[in-house]
Every structure is written in C-alpha cells, then in structure tokens.
Structure 1
Amino acid sequence: MTDLRTWLDRVEGFGELRHVRGAHWDTELGAIAELSYQRPNPKAMLFEDIADYPTGRVLTGSTGSARRLGLTLGLGDDLDDASLVAALRGKPSTWARTASEFPTETVTDSPLLANVVDGKDVDLLSLPVPRWHAGDGGRYIGTGCLVVTQDPATKDINGGCYRMEVVDEGRSATINAVPGKHGAQHVQRWFERYGKAPVVVSFGHHPVLLVTGGTEVPTGISELEYAGAILGERVPVLLGEHTGLPIPAGSEVAIEGWLRPDLMRDEGPFGEWTGYYSGKRRPAPALEITRLYHRDDPILLGAPPGKPPHDYSYMRTAMKSAMIEDALVGAGVPGVRGAWAHEAGGGRLFIAVSIEHRYAGHARQVGHLAAQLPAAAYMNRFVVVVDDDIDVANLHEVVWAMCTRCDPKRDIDIIDGTWGSKLDPMLVEGAPPYNSRAVIDACRPFERRATFPAVSTGDPDYLESVLNKWAEVLAP
C-alpha cells in the first residue's frame, strides 16, 4: 500500500478514477482539475498523453472524497463523509503514539532507480510540470510533494509539503518553506552549523505522504513513521547517494541536493490555498540538485491549491478536524463533542467546536485552547464554540448559532500577535507575519441555560418517523 500505482488500481476499482488524455500542461490541465473538484463527488484525475510530452503523467484530486481519503488512511474504501469522520475520531493521537513502532525500512532496490540522472544533466522540464493557474509566476513541480529534511543535532527526520517552482530552465527548483515550520527550522540549523542543508524531495508517491506532509504532525515524529502508523506497515526507503536522507522507495520521481544561503532564485506568485495569489515575485532558496531519480512513465502527484474547495481542502478539513478534537480531549478539557476546520477557510481559518456546556467559562476555555493548539495555531482566524445541539460540520447551523446565541460585545475575544503567514492576503507587504484571531462564544449563556428560549424545530425521533411515513412525498 505504499506504492502509488497500487493505490490507483484500488481507486479505479471502485470507480473514482478518471483518465484525461491530451490536456495541455499550460493552465489547461489545472483548469480541468479545478472544474472537477468544484463538482459534486469529484473524481481523481489521471492526466495522460499531456501535450508536448510523450511520457509522464500527472494525478490530481487524490484525497478529494471520503472513499479515497478513507483508502489513503487505511480506514476502508466504502466510507461516506459521516462515517469517515467517525472512523477518524481518536486516530491522530493513536498514530502519533504508535509512530515509533514503524521505523522506515531501508531497501536497496526500487523501480525508482530505473532512471538515474546526475546533477549536470538534470532537466525537470523533461517531465510534464504544469503551470496550474494563469497568474502563476512559473511551472510548479512541488504541490503534492514531500520535502525531506533532518535536524543536524537530533537527527529527527521531517517531511513537509512546500510549493516548488522550476527555475534555471529545469536545472533547479525553489523550495518555499513557511518560516516556523519544522523543515524551515531544520534548514536554518544546517545553515548555521555547516553553511548548507541536505534535502530530498519526492514528487509522486502514495497520497498518505501528502496527508502527513500537509498537516501538523507533532514535533519529533517523522512524517514517514507517522505514515507507517497510519498504514500499519513500515515505509520502505532508499538512502540518498549524496545526502544520506531517506527517499520513499515507492516514489515515482525524486531529487536530492543541497540548499545554500546564497543560492536564491526569484519565485512566485502562486495561487495559494487562501484563494488568492500570494505576493509578488521574490527570491526564495533554490536547490542545487545532485541527482534525479524516476520510474518509467512517472506520475507527478499534483495538489494545486486555490479558492476553496481545491485539490486537498477536503483532506485537510477532515484531518485537522480530527487532530484538533484529539488535542482538546488530550488536554483534559471535558465535554468536547466535536471539532470541524471548515473547508471554506481552507481547513485552517475557520474552526468550530461543540461542547456540552458544563460550567461558567467553559466555552471561553475551549475557544482559547483551540485557537492556539499546535494543530490549529498556524494562520487560524476564527474559532467558534457552540452547544452540542449544533452540527459543527454544518456551516449554516454554526452561523445560526452565532447569530442567535452570541452578543458581539460580550462574547467575542480578540487575540493579537498570533502565528500568521506571508500567504495571508490581509498581510501588508513587508510587515511581520503576525495575525489576530477571534474566539467567538456562540453557546447559550451558561447562567441562562434553563430559561433560554427553546429551539422551534421538531423532535428528531418524531421527524424521523414522519420522514419514513412520507418518504415518497419527501424524496429528492
């Protein structure tokens, strides 16, 4: 299950893979992908026979449905949205706790070794790298990638998903790691100690590595070991010839090389997960590639962001919701009934938490904790706490609770100077990447629980009986 092609066979088997032939790499491929995941029940799209390229393929939409995400996470391939959420409950904390039981397995052979190209001959544009959006500054090979780094002191391995633009006519690619992320911290420590930093990047792999690379795995836990805990088997890796870093042996395309403080190339803009192009063209670290590896007819794993819903917004919403709920329960907070990191906010900007309201101050406590938990702290903007009669995944119900159970003057707290990002469209050019966030108490006031007006809707059991009796009339 650590091989992308095995995963694709499974997805095709239950009817959620669509083959697309003849699309052009220059914005057309990206536009088809965008239109697809804006449709109900979007499919995974495997682009083949890409214009100008006799070989090489691109996959998009890998984690965009409950069935595909369930398969990716080893939870089953017959789930719907509700059963996926139920199956995920408690899993992130279990995976984090057991990750050390699944160390990577070093191997010496892999289909990835079918084609090995030394640095001087590397041309990333020999692969069908898309220009995803019309306003992008170039062709981005890194959207669903896994960038592998190592802490020079502790030897901890990290795998992050950072955007990467092809530069120098295919000989290099920039790595735009967000400051504060584990990979960026590793690189900075290497710079301070040795003046350069080793890096490995996989561009095509089992989507579980997109999941682990694109969400906040706890510090000190390797994303490769976390992926092993998810799948229940050790992830096989090759060791990079020049860097010694692990390369997923099931990868379709991988590179290794070195980042240096003085090796910078202009990068961007790029259509980001906030739904806006991020910034102007500016310098970013570029990789000195010492080796390229790829399978025959390789598959690039594309995960282009954009205005939600986008390629991986469903995955991030499901995963981060489970991580936030797990973290709140793990912190010892009583009465937590659910959490949802809404897709409209890219799985980060708008979080709703439901509680069984047990004591005065309970809602504020949960809201402030949720706003700053490691799983939610990066670029969060709104946390809304609601009563347990509200479905946190239903944005209509959450907004209704805000409108009817929240006094803006009393029930909204603003936290300033929190962890923002240069990707934030509200950030003024050149300003430090702080943001602020609102914690909104949309619960019935604790002291008025007994006297607060009753909700004017039917009893759920009675409504269910009426639905059964009048099913023909109420059918869609």
Structure 2
Amino acid sequence: MSEPLLSLRTWLDTVAGFGELRHVKGAHWDVELGAIAELSYQRPKPLALLFDDIVDYPSGHRVLTGSTGSARRLGHTLRLGDDLDDAGLKAALRGKPSQWAAAAADHRTEVVTDAPLLANVVEGPDVDLLALPVPRWHSEDGGRFVGTGCFVVTSDPDTGVINGGCYRMEVQDEGRSTTIAAVPGKHGAQHIQRWFEKEGRAPVVVSFGHDPVLLVTGGTEVPSGISELDYAGAIVGAPVPVLLGEHTGLPIPAGSEIAIEGWLRPDHLRDEGPFGEWTGYYSGGRRPAPAVEITRLYHRDNPVQLGAPPGKPPHDYSYMRTVMKSAMIEDALNSSGVAGIRGAWAHEAGGGRLFIAVSIDNRYAGHSRQVGHLAAQLPAAAYMNRFVVVVDDDIDPTDLGEVVWAMSTRCDPVRDIDVVPGTWGSKLDPMLVEGAPPYNSRAVIDACRPFERRASFPAVSTGDPAYLDAVLERWADVLK
C-alpha cells in the first residue's frame, strides 16, 4: 500500500533527504527524552530528532520532536519550498493564510476505506496507551502526556462543521484513558460543550502521529467555520484522505500513525497536570478535565508519535507559531482595510502570542493607536495577547532590539500606553491567581514618532542604507 497523503513517514524521508533529521537511540521516556529535545531547541540550528530504542520499549516504537523548528522544515511542511531561510519563509507566507482559508471549501476531505493505520485495531477494554513510549516531558509534569503534537477532531452538533485542535492530553487509568484539556473559548471546547448540552456526551477522535501540517493547523487560529482538515488540504493542494471512525463517525486522517476515538462526558473527569506549558511555566496544580472513554485504538506497525512539548521559549513549536501567527495577523490587518501596514511579528520570546510588534507607515493622527487596538483584538491575536507595540516603518518588527529601541526613544509611557482590562486570557497564564476568572489585560504601546512631530523629530544617527551597502561591498574582507 502506498503512503497516504499527510503520512508522517513521507515527511520524515524528505526531511532526512535534506539533512535536518537526527536519529537518537537509547533515551529514557522519563524526562531524559524531553531534556534532549529541550537542549536541541536551544541550539542555533535545531534539528528534528527521531527517538528509537527508547528504554522499556521495543525498537521501532518511535517519537519525533522538533518537526517545525526551522525555516526549511516549516517551509516544506507548508509546501512553500524546501530551501527557504527565515526571510524567504516570511516572504513566501505573505498573503497565504487568507488564500488557504478561501480555498479550503475546494479541498474538502475525501473518505477512504483502507489505510496503514488499520494494521492494528484494539477495542476499548484492551486499550493501553502506555504500550506506546509516551514521554514524561518535564521533571515536574504530573504525568505522561501523549497529546502534545496531537490533532483532536470534534464536530459542531448542529452544523456538522469539523474542528481540529492541538490540546495537551495526559494518560490516565494506567493507559486506558486520557484527559483532553481543551482551552475554553477555542472552537473544540465550544463543540464539546454544545454536545454536552445537547446529548450529554461528545464524540472525539485524536491522531497522535501525522504530517506536521496538522500540528500547524491545529495549533493556530484557523477562521471559524473552516475545518482544519480542509484548510490543510488547501495548504497541500489536495483533499486530505480520511477514514470514518467506526463508533463516532468523525474523520480520522488516513495518514495517521496512531489514533483513538471515543466519547467525553461532563461527569467523567480525571485530575490532570501540572504541565510545563508554552509560557515557560508549570500551569497550576492538578485539576479535573474530561477523560476520553476510548472505544477503539488504531495504530500502524512500528508507529511514530509526533511530540511537540512546550516549555520556556524556544520550544518545540514556538518558531512555527511565531511565523504562522505573524502571517495571520499581518493578513488580518491588511484585510481590515486599514492602510499603511508594513509588517507584523508575534515574537518567539512571548510564545508567539504575548508580544506582538506591528510596523506602519504612520499616515494620520490616531493611525498608530487604531492599528494597535485592532491588532490587540483580532481573532488571530486576541487569545492571551499581552503587549502590542506599534512602530514606524523604519523599524524592523522582527528585530526585538529595534522594537525595544523604538519603545525607549519614541514612547512617552504616560501618553502612549493604553491598558485594556478584561480581555481574553487563559488559565495557563502564570499571572492568573488560582480560581480567578481567566481574564487578562493588555498594553497597546504607541512607539511611533508623535504624528505632529514627524518633521521635527530628531534624525536617527545612522548611515544612509545605500551608502552603508556600498561600504559593506568595498570592505567585505574586513567586515565578514
């Protein structure tokens, strides 16, 4: 049988071909595997790591980390090219999120009846997720988390619209179940709640190994009403083949390595957490979350789990989220009709969410404030955003040093910082007091030259860019 579209194995072969995959043998599933991955993320050019011969598990039961951690791997995953650098990836992404959203309806999933995933089918009573080398990623994690690079499929009970999200999932009941910590307000959590209200239970499917394009679509804000599977189809340019779950009827990516289906119930809860989250902190103590009543487990022979453990940035998917969120925010600002948008960047140090910089051609009084407040509340940016900084178009929004310089020299804190309370936060926020509603506040920082002083504001003491380029060319041997 040929490999289905969105097979992780096809992706691995390609990435190995351009030299960005490293095989790691003999790591322990308990913290050591996660520590190796963490150290890799901190290197200047982190590779994807494929762990095998994991302690306590047979050879061939593998875990992949770092799948989207470079421009070249992310460019390949998004089908934008296999030789892109950071600047090339950013340029190639310009305008793509809105194009993919528009094309999703033309790339509906295609139902198939056979796939390598069906090689092993385990019925509910015999399910043991710990037969897989599920890591305990961080030393203070409350358990072993099988859901980090997962793709959780839910549906709207009224419209049938499918959603795919990426949520943390802790193995429960000695491997017979797993919690799903869906973020309140996200589309998947809304689906689950509607099912609870309508039927008293919610169907769910989860894939644990797949082409990382599903990690991208499941981990970023695809517009409401668009299935992440259809969006992925638009990215790759072909319908995603899916099996239909025997018990839930929900689509299972045919290229998946491991998948489960089952039911969530509002009264079937297990304590989960803490977990080292993308903010760089452990999120609270143990608290109840819905646990899946698994009716069936599917897996390929010698399956590969897609791991994407978060942590203090840089972490497994912080580069991916930064690049994707930046493109989505820039697209949304341009689509809003506001003129003069030059660029947007959701900085990796803020997990791709907490700190956003936008550069503009400041054209009229109030322009910078308008852009700042729009960026702070756009659907692509609103969740857990904390700082939006608007800068002039001579500032590179991707360069944190330039952004901070603009804040330090063009911003009067009393006049130029607006604080908006009561905005969309998260229980993952380390600033949130335990038990308090998950609001946050956000600061919109106007770091543009005052509009009324543009002509008289002190000139920047740096050389003319064209002259500096000429000097660099002449003195290249000194400055290399």
Q: CA deviation at 1:414?
A: 0.4
SS at match of 1:376: coil
Alignment of 1:168-247 (within 5 A): 168-247=173-252
CA distance in 2, matches of 1:241, 1:276: 39
CA distance in 1, matches of 2:264, 2:151: 16
Q: Tell me the residue number matched to 2:346.
A: 341
Q: Tell me the residue number matched to 2:15.
A: 11
- The aligned length equals 475
Q: Runs of at least 4 residues of structure 1 off by over 4 A?
A: none
Q: Tell me the residue number matched to 1:29.
A: 33
Q: Tell me the residue number matched to 1:453.
A: 458
Q: Letter of the aligned partner of 1:26 in structure 2?
A: D
CA distance in 2, matches of 1:45, 1:2: 19
Q: Tell me the residue number matched to 2:89.
A: 84
Q: Letter of the aligned partner of 2:17 in structure 1?
A: G
1:367-401 CA deviation, whole Å, 9 max, x = no partner?
Answer: 00000000000000000000000000000000000
Alignment of 1:426-441 (within 5 A): 426-441=431-446
SS at match of 2:345: strand
Q: Letter of the aligned partner of 2:208 in structure 1?
A: F
1:133 counterpart = 2:156: no
1:153 counterpart = 2:155: no
* Alignment match of 1:353 (pick from 325, 336, 358): 358
CA distance in 1, matches of 2:147, 2:156: 22
CA distance in 2, matches of 1:97, 1:473: 50
Percentage of pairs with the same residue: 82
Structure 2 gap ranges (5+): none
SS at match of 1:200: strand
Q: CA deviation at 1:472?
A: 1.0
CA distance in 1, matches of 2:179, 2:409: 48
CA distance in 2, matches of 1:359, 1:56: 60
CA distance in 1, matches of 2:108, 2:479: 53
Q: CA RMSD in A?
A: 0.5
Q: Letter of the aligned partner of 1:250 in structure 2?
A: G
Q: Tell me the residue number matched to 2:288.
A: 283
CA distance in 1, matches of 2:442, 2:243: 43
1:320 counterpart = 2:332: no
Q: Letter of the aligned partner of 2:127 in structure 1?
A: V
SS at match of 2:243: strand
Structure 1 gap ranges (5+): none
1:115-171 CA deviation, whole Å, 9 max, x = no partner?
Answer: 000000000000000000000000000000000000000100000000000000000
* Alignment match of 1:397 (pick from 385, 399, 402): 402
CA distance in 2, matches of 1:463, 1:318: 29
CA distance in 2, matches of 1:305, 1:192: 32
CA distance in 1, matches of 2:450, 2:95: 29
Q: CA deviation at 1:2?
A: 1.3
Q: CA deviation at 1:461?
A: 1.0
Q: Letter of the aligned partner of 2:24 in structure 1?
A: V
1:378 counterpart = 2:383: yes
1:303-346 CA deviation, whole Å, 9 max, x = no partner?
Answer: 00000000000000000000000000001010000000000000
SS at match of 1:461: helix
Q: Letter of the aligned partner of 1:415 in structure 2?
A: V
CA distance in 2, matches of 1:449, 1:149: 51
Structure 1 stretch displaced more, 2-11 or 342-351: 2-11
CA distance in 2, matches of 1:132, 1:104: 33
Q: Letter of the aligned partner of 2:473 in structure 1?
A: N
1:260 counterpart = 2:272: no
CA distance in 1, matches of 2:355, 2:116: 42
